[in-house]
Amino acid sequence: MDVTLGIIGGSGLYELPGLQGEWETIESPWGEPSDQVLRGTLDGTRMVFLPRHGRGHGLDPTGINYRANIDVMKRAGVTDLVSLSACGSLREDLPPGMFVIVDQFIDRTFARPKSFFGNGCVAHVSMAHPVSRDLGDRVEAAAKVVGVPVRRGGTYLAMEGPQFSSLAESQLYRAWGADVIGMTNMPEAKLAREAEIAYATVAMVTDFDSWHPEHGEVDIMSIIATMTQNADAARNLVATLAAATPPTREPCSTGSDMALETAIITTPEARDPALLAKLDAVAGRVLSRS
Ligand SMILES: CSC[C@H]1O[C@H](OP(=O)(O)O)[C@H](O)[C@@H]1O
Ligand SMILES: Nc1ncnc2[nH]cnc12
């Protein structure tokens, strides 16, 4: 399939220097995305960039319209989506500056719509392997070329926020085996899966959350200072990834391109035409044949 690389930029990543293109408005039936998208090419690779919190960081993690964001990425033709995210560390051996290519999630968010589907068209996709192994391979290779400290694999605990965790919560998440913590990658990863977009996350450690006896409480000023350093490396990583991205690729080995293949359980007669109309982009591949 033809590849279009999408990048969702998190805290501190509101533009992508080097991406030659235009900011474009893409309408979505799911409401307002975080911002316009910057669509163009970088080193010959078709790319679409969206700042998750909007330019100016006006949106908090709960207020982001994740469905509209993923829907506009799908409408823009994105096949491979990389999330760049600030995160806290829940492990001694993942210090600030470390980039973690996450492969699992624990979803503790509770105040966000989490699916494109629902009454009138019910679907249950597998989240056993929520990220694309192949895209993760390419991201890992790019990180190694850039020379950032990188860890392949890790569990990202998604919390609601916007407050940071209490000491007791931070200790609980460590006991669960979570490696990093953030506020945004859920339901983003679930929605990317539903939209059949290969997804990978680069979780860039900015702090030790609340558990570490030798590091004080998390504070936003020190997070931003570390994030500013991480952001330069993240932009280099994206440029390297773009240069190494092939124009076409094989089907994703973790099934990202086919996640809806057998997921929709509602019979064609019982489907709600209004919901089907909203699903035109994310589920068009499977809905058009029944
Ligand atoms: C600025 S610290 C808290 C904020 O940063 C992370 O967002 P993102 O994943 O978009 O980089 C974290 O999840 C919080 O939303
Ligand atoms: N400690 C933390 N908890 C949640 N989100 C974060 N983003 C950056 N650091 C974080």
Kindly report whether the peptide bond that precedes residue 187 is cis, defined as omega within 30 degrees of 0: yes
What's the total number of domains in the chain? Answer: 1
Tens digits of pLDDT across the chain (290 residues): 999 999 999 999 999 988 989 999 999 999 999 999 999 999 999 999 999 999 999 999 999 999 999 999 999 999 999 999 999 999 999 999 999 999 999 999 999 999 999 999 999 999 999 999 999 999 999 999 999 999 999 999 999 999 999 999 999 999 999 999 999 999 999 999 999 999 999 999 999 999 988 887 888 888 989 999 889 999 999 999 999 999 999 999 999 999 999 999 999 999 999 999 999 999 999 999 86
Is position 35 annotated as part of the catalytic site?
no
246 upstream amide cis, omega within 30 of 0: no
Spacing, Cα 230 to ligand 1 middle (Å): 13
Give the span between the Cα atoms of 46 and 19, in whole angstroms.
9
The range of the structural domain enclosing residue 26 comes to 5-287
Q: Give residue 61 CA to ligand 2 midpoint distance, Å.
A: 11
What's the CATH code of the domain at 33? 3.40.50.1580
Token pair 């629902």: residue: 118
* Contact call for residues 65 and 29 (beta carbons, < 8 A): no
Cα–Cα dist 197/5, whole Å: 10
ipTM surpassing 0.90 = yes
Nearest CA to 121 out of 262, 237, 275, 10 is that of 275
Q: Is 207 a catalytic residue?
A: yes
Calculate the alpha carbon distances from 195 to 78, 123, 288 in Å: 10, 11, 14
Task: Please tell me the residue having the least CA distance from ligand 2 atom 7.
Answer: 87
Half-sphere exposure of 97 (CA within 13 A, CB side): 6
Does the beta carbon of 182 lie inside 6 Å of ligand 1? yes
